[in-house]
Amino acid sequence: MARIDRQVDARRLLCPLPVIRTQDAATEMQPGEMLCVVATDPGVMNDIPAWCRINGHRVEMIEERADEIIITIKVGGFERD
């Protein structure tokens, strides 16, 4: 498993808050760092990958565990890779 540089706890938050929290965290990170988002809103499975494509980040993994969705993102240079 890759190292995680920062984690966002977006559990019990509904759209658009998980994406906003993810964006806030990513803007404070360096390109190449790994961000882990833990959420319970199933909409993040589409919303966060779409946000990543638009903003030049890469989804490394999406995993579902019980009622949680864990998304690991490699922070990009804030442009399309």
Q: In whole angstroms, what is the distance from residue 15 CA to residue 32 CA?
A: 26
In the annotation, is 15 catalytic?
yes
Beta carbons of 8 and 33 less than 8 angstroms apart: no
Please pick, among 6, 7, 13, 15, the residue that the annotation labels catalytic: 15
Nearest residue to 37 via CA among 23, 27, 50 = 23
Catalytic residue list:
15
